[in-house]
Structure 1
Amino acid sequence: MGDAGSYSSFRYNPTGGGWFFEGSAGISGNASGFTSGNPQAPQGAQAAFLQGQGSISQGVNGFQAGVTYTLSFKAAQRANHQSNYQQIEVFLGNQSLGKFTPPSDSYRSASVTFNAPASGSTSLRFVGLNPNGGDNTAFLDDIQLVGPSAEPAPSPLATGTGLKATYFANQDLSGSASLIRLDPQVDFDWGDGSPDASVLATNQFSVRWEGTLEAPTGGVYTFMTRSDDGVRLWINGVLIVNNWSDHGPTNDVGTQTVTLTAGQRAAVKMEFYENGGGAEARLYWSYPGQALQSIPRIRLYPAP
């Protein structure tokens, strides 16, 4: 659940990502007070949680009336504190797509196929029903909405591990690197902290992420960054985001879209600097059948 922030503990109703949280819903990192009894999240370091009657939703667009789509996700009951069990109902706009009860505290796959009722935009919503009352929670991750495509089916063998990240103890990516590591995703909210307090201060640092991204299906891809402070983004060597300035949390949509075929890899480079105050850096994409999301680890491959 990467496009709603990055949290090593947990947070109710986080803001700033593609998902909108209501009631007792939020994001929890692995091994937090919420998830310490559960396996790790299937898609990364965190999952959404629906406690009680909390809900999460996201706007989706590009539907074609009468065309068949498939929604899939992974869900688990909370292991370390549960009065009874949690049940989830999924809505597309006002249309219920079904009720789902995760059978255990291990993440299990669920899916539903449906015909889009109308063309255009609507919302996708997951709602906690908590049918028996008490304190009950379910976790959600790896949510995917897939429509028809003339391209080959997405490869199930995506094996990405993330992007090469080179951190500098200055704002202009100059001199010797202070830290080189593999970042599984570009989905960070450091707040007033540091990417690594052992080598970097909380302010006046910069980072360059490099590698390739792999298209899961064919179509037109839109890229967006969210940053505080400066950001630049290149896809296949073309600069499509250039907001190299001090600013608060800001979404920047790429000035160009990119057409990719299923399985095609494209070069990606993103640069970021932090001057003062909060620090946030995120990289999103959307494509046919997929609403805006943080680019998953398995679709990112590091530069040498």
Structure 2
Amino acid sequence: MEMIPNNLVQNGDFSAGFTDWTLAGLTQNAQIVTEGDNQFARFGPGVSMYQDVNVNAHDDYVFAFRFRAPYVGNGLDIKIEGLDANNNPSPPLVEQTFPQTQNWTRKGTIFNTGQFTKLRITFIIFSAADVDDVGLFATGQPNQNGLFGSYYNGTDFNTLVFQRVDPQIDFFWPTGSPPALGNQKLNVNDYSIRWLGYALMPFVPINQPNRRIIFRTISDDGVRLWVYPLNTPQPGPIINNWTLHSATANDSLPQDLVPGDFYNIQLDLFNGPGTSTIQLMYYFEGDDPQTAKTVPTEVLFPKTP
């Protein structure tokens, strides 16, 4: 996944012998393990490790990592605390448990740093776990958050005209004013767009993991939406209205999405004659659909084709 640029956590891939990490535990520190092209850290039971990093106050950050903890009753905790001028930790800004998993799983969380300019990031590993690709980065950086859009002439992705990262999907193009990037412009009529990326699911409440989310698109004309787990084949779309129509709301069935997990996301649009619009939104099962909100920039990460 190409989703952790501007990595602020030092040696997050554990390739430098844990420099800048402080490790303490009841048993040995980690060992470096290689499986094919993948190199990662394997921790024994009872390990706690932390790193202190400098950040900007009052900014939103994403903390993400990849782990595997296949043993019964195993898993790991993460804790993120603000540090005062004397390096005394605050009550946790983030404190979250991730249960055992047989397969490599990418997890993440979004939080605000509040008044703090220094954080302590701690992993607590109960039995044994493999950890890799640890990253912390500010949201909303140019080309870092959003979906990667490929803009084509033709209604079937015929001729690529330009590509860009769109921070969120909320567009209206009037008749005669098609999408453009600088001097590059789509045809007035008959064009298509494909957005690719990943979505982090913190907007499913952590303390309400069984609450299901409904995705909504408003489009003119055709629209298709896929949201599905990483490392799985692409299934059928959860929204599919690939027809000519005026601005129309389409809702997915309720989706069971795990808080803290990343998901693949693909959104397709085509426009025939006249105006075009596209919005990607969500609301929770049982709520009024009119409460639907635009999927926020900070949970979207671009993926190049």
TM-score, length-normalised on structure 1? 0.46
* Greater radius of gyration (CA): 2
